[in-house]
Amino acid sequence: MRLRTRLPAVLFAAAGVLLLGGLAPIALHGNGGGTTVPGAGAAPADPLDAGIAAAQARLRRLPGDWNTWAQLGSAYVERARVTGDPTYYGKAEEALHRSLDLAPATNWAAMAGMGSLANARHDFHAALDWGRRAERINPAAGSVHGVIADALTQLGDAPGARTAVQRMLDVEPGVSSFTRASYDFEQHGQTEPARAALERALAEAAAPADRAFCRYYLGELAFNTGDAQGALVQYDAGLTADPGYHPLHAGRGKAYLALGRTADALHEYELATQALPLPNLVAEYGDALTVAGRLDAARQQYALHAVQQKLFAAGGVGDRLGDAVFLADHGDPAGALTAARAEWADRQPALVADALAWALHRNGQDTEALTYATKATALGWRNATFLYHRGAIEHALGNDADARRDLADALAVNPHFDALQAPAAQQLLTSIGGRP
């Protein structure tokens, strides 16, 4: 067994979540299908499905087993993440409520599961409340601190999230805690510590899915810092570890697009979205098709994006941030601003500040937009999209000196940061006398 040492707070300074809900937070003995346990079918092929079948069998024998109901609910949250099917959220809620009905007082596992579910549905205030309730009962559970860290990160409380991740590292160092630490480093502009934390997570990863998860985020970090070829190496290694980890195909898609291999990029995006039709991946595929000049196919993907957003909303997932980001660049600036203002009223992390800044810019409200663009970059995040947005806003306000600096910085961080916006950034920079 590898010895695990405590990592000091000075090293892992703050926290974030790479996937809302993260890895399955509760050790899974089983999983199931709502509060009415269905009959077992053929033997599942993967561990998560195997856990589902085991939980079904146990709950048929012991329907009052509140702990298995809690594990079941948390597994449904994970299943929704893996499949992109938001109907699992309703099943997770039923199972977790069943667990809490059976054991309401000390059932920290179900409370943590409810927190994970709330994070997945973007109800971060509720997630924080559930996480704090679970923490009071079992402060030694790493998953509890993960729920809290995820919620605080998304609410924009960086110091609070930092504390939660340190506690998670103290009690349960592993893939989930190291990846959260990595994301915080990235948000603070500390790329090398972010990479080191992901490498540590990879060293801790035993299951193929965990190794693929780590490789995916090593690829994302490489891509976000302008290394498309290095990102492709990580995505390829992830698919070698687990061919069923579908986000890796989307990663390969954007890496291929950056490397000029458009046909390969479209093929990878097709594979990703057929298996995992998440709204953000569908939108990325549409943008890649637009770049390739396949406008009719792109419109089909944008229409699918709208359908998927509605399906997720029906499953209880509120995604005003996703709406704001998409609408700002796809023809509905007024809708983008409505969504962004509503999201900012609820929570204030850097991603929402950037979305609001860009929506304000798209509506010609650049003085106010600059205030939020400055908030977006306050942590020091070397995010090319943030820098491009701030540069475009500065140009609109007549401040071309700062605009040239920020636009050049954006393209230095990652010249291929977005299929549509990176070329726009390059064109704008050239037009005002700057160099990428």
* Measured CA distances, 414 to 2, 195, 349 (Å): 36, 16, 22
pLDDT value at residue 436:
64
Hey, what CATH class is 8-203 in?
mainly alpha
Residues 6+ apart with CB under 8 A from 407: 387, 388, 391, 392, 395, 425, 428, 429, 432, 434
pLDDT value at residue 45:
54
Tell which residue, 431, 380, 434, has the closest CA to residue 407: 434
The ranges of the chain annotated as CATH 1.25.40.10 are: 8-203, 326-431
User: For residue 389, with 0-12 CB atoms within 10 Å meaning exposed, 13-18 middle and 19 or more buried, which class applies?
Assistant: buried
pLDDT tens digits for the chain (436 residues)? 333 332 322 233 223 333 323 333 322 222 233 333 333 333 345 788 888 789 978 999 999 999 999 999 999 999 998 888 999 999 999 999 999 999 999 999 999 999 999 999 999 999 999 999 999 999 999 999 999 999 999 999 999 999 999 999 999 999 999 999 999 899 999 999 999 999 999 999 999 999 999 999 999 999 999 999 999 999 999 999 999 999 999 999 999 999 999 999 999 999 999 999 999 999 999 999 999 999 999 999 999 999 999 999 998 998 999 999 999 999 999 999 999 999 999 999 999 999 999 999 999 999 999 999 999 999 999 999 999 999 999 999 999 999 999 999 999 999 999 999 999 999 999 999 977 6
Please work out, in degrees rounded to the nearest 5, the angle formed at the alpha carbon of residue 87 by the alpha carbons of 54 and 111.
65
pLDDT value at residue 9:
29
- 326-431 is a CATH 1.25.40.10 domain: yes
CA distance 194 to 180: 9
**Two tokens at 226?**
């302008």
Q: How far is CA 380 from the centre of its chain?
A: 19
